[in-house]
Amino acid sequence: MYEHGRSEPWLYTLLMMQPDHITEDMFLRAVEEAGVKRLNPALERLRLERWREGTSIQIMHLGPYAEEPKTIGMMDVYAEEHGYRLHGRHHEIYLGDPRRAKPENLRTILRHPILTS
């Protein structure tokens, strides 16, 4: 997938929250069963990963995804003004369905882990 106005592809990881009781064995069985029902080469790239990001700054972005860089820039300024250092990659939590909502009505939570001094 290419970001609007860019020629290089996006690098991203798609995350899906799972309940804490899901084990590696349960996950592997589910992936195997999904592959029996329907062949899908993407299943080979799935993994169960526990992720704890720690302290973060976050903001609600309202509007089209293409305008997120401006909102991310606001997060960068906030972090710098408060002596925080951005740590790792930011992530996005989509609260709407882009197939059903007008771009100006989309809501996305943007989060970026930080290091505090």
What is the distance between the alpha carbons of residues 101 and 107, in angstroms, rounded to a whole number? 10
For 5-61, write each residue's pLDDT tens digit: 556 776 777 888 899 999 999 999 999 999 998 889 999 999 999 888 889 999 999
Where residue 87 sits, what CATH number does that domain have?
A: 3.20.80.10
What is the distance between the alpha carbons of residues 19 and 70, in angstroms, rounded to a whole number? 33
Number of structural domains in the chain: 2
Same domain, 45 and 71: no
Q: Give the DSSP letter string of 87-111.
A: -S--EEEE-S-TTTS-GGG-EEEEE
pTM of whole model > 0.75? no
The candidate with the shortest Cα–Cα distance to 29, out of 15, 42, 16, 48, is 48
Q: Is the pLDDT of residue 91 over 80?
A: yes
Cα angle 46, 49, 52; round to 5: 145
Same domain, 25 and 61: no
The letter for the amino acid at 52 is R
